[in-house]
Amino acid sequence: MDVERQGSTRNKDDFSFQGVKDHLKEKVHHPSVSATLIVFLILNLIMLIVGFMHVNNCPIKKVIPIYLIVAGCVGIVSKLLPFLNRKFQLKMLTFTIYALYIFEFVWMLLGSYWVYSLGKPNFDPSHPPYCNKTAYYLAFWLLTVNWVFIAITLILTCCAAICIAVVNRK
């Protein structure tokens, strides 16, 4: 059963930036995107829980568990609001979502400084100062994976922009 979308005027051969933007807007409602957001929601929940569990277990850098708590809370809210906004389409909610994304990025920069500047800390509580191994490695690896994803996204975006520019030039 083949059903055409009414009102869709986008040309499938449109290689402009607007065409790519429209294509991405259509894909946002795809189930795989929702599944990916759920995975990130679970990771944010784990950050929140681990941060609360070890809030007093990192005297060498007390802000690492706080980083996990704040990143987990903000991450959960920023993952749930787009689902809510699908139904209501409120401009203020859209603005709030973008503001949360910006905050998440700035918080990630701060977390990177706090975690990476520490190097490999002492994990033994009997020899202070120390940091809980679980809290430290969770923050370290999630930050590292985030930076890798950002780098890959930037590289792919640049490649796509170059391809679009080349195709449009012909």
Q: State pLDDT tens for residues 14-46.
A: 555 566 556 555 555 666 667 777 888 899 999
Higher pLDDT: 44 or 168? It is: 44
Look at residue 65 and tell me whether its pLDDT is greater than 90. yes
Is the pLDDT at 8 greater than 50? The verdict is: no
pLDDT tens digits for range 88-123: 788 888 899 999 999 999 999 999 999 999 988 999
C-alpha distance from residue 9 to each of 4, 5, 18, 59, 114 (Å) = 11, 9, 12, 59, 49
Is the pLDDT higher at 69 or at 15?
69
Per-chain mean pLDDT for the chain:
84
Closest of 55, 95, 54, 102 to residue 74, by C-alpha? 102
Residue 25: predicted pLDDT: 57
Q: What is the mean pLDDT of residues 121-135?
A: 93
φ, ψ for residue 19 (rounded to 5)? -65, -40
As a whole number of angstroms, the distance between CA 63 and CA 66 comes to: 5
